[in-house]
Amino acid sequence: MLWNTGLEVGVPQIDSQHKELFRQVDILMDNSKKDRIPETLKFLGNYVVKHFTDEQVLHAASKYPKADLHKGYHTKFISTFNDLKKEFDTSGQSLPTMLKINNTVVNWLKDHIMVHDKEFATYYKNR
Ligand SMILES: [Fe+2]
């Protein structure tokens, strides 16, 4: 599993959704589950939007000063993900495309959680 406790932010709702995101990415990267890639990408695309929305609700409810900035990161990632999904839909399940999708999603998630979600969690827990 790509998720590890170092990625925990300490807000249970956010942590459980992050775990689910990584569980889905694990499926994408599992060679023995290649036939599940199209449905997993579809699920991931929808789940990411739901997760971001839930985070943004928490931001608004707690009057997080960086809410707009954070929402901008989410919006940009959704557009990156949609571009990757389009590439997958047109060029198919090629190895370079899958590597690009996996690397982009994993790296973005890890960086975003470690910096921006943790920053919010600290604010949220100390407010
Ligand atoms: Fe976030």
Domains of the chain, residue spans: 11-126
Residues shown for the chain: 127
User: With left for phi above 0 and alpha for psi between -120 and 50, is residue 4 left, alpha or beta?
Assistant: beta
Give the Å distance between the CA of 125 and the centre of ligand 1.
Answer: 16
Give the Å distance between the CA of 18 and the centre of ligand 1.
Answer: 10
Going by pLDDT thresholds of 50, 70 and 90, the confidence category of residue 1 is confident
Give the Å distance between the CA of 32 and the centre of ligand 1.
Answer: 30
Q: What's the confidence (pLDDT) of residue 37?
A: 95
Query: Which among 15, 28, 75, 22 has a CA at the least distance from the CA of 49?
Result: 75
Condensed to tens digits (0 to 9), the pLDDT of residues 66-113 reads 999 999 999 999 999 999 999 999 988 899 999 999 999 999 999 999
Which whole number is the average pLDDT over 15-44? Answer: 95
Q: What is the DSSP string of 49-115?
A: HHHHHHHHHHHHHTT-TTHHHHHHHHHHHHHHHHHHHHHHHHH-S-HHHHHHHHHHHHHHHHHHIII
Q: What's the confidence (pLDDT) of residue 2?
A: 86
Give the Å distance between the CA of 49 and the centre of ligand 1.
Answer: 11
CATH fourth-level superfamily of 11-126: Hemerythrin-like (1.20.120.50)
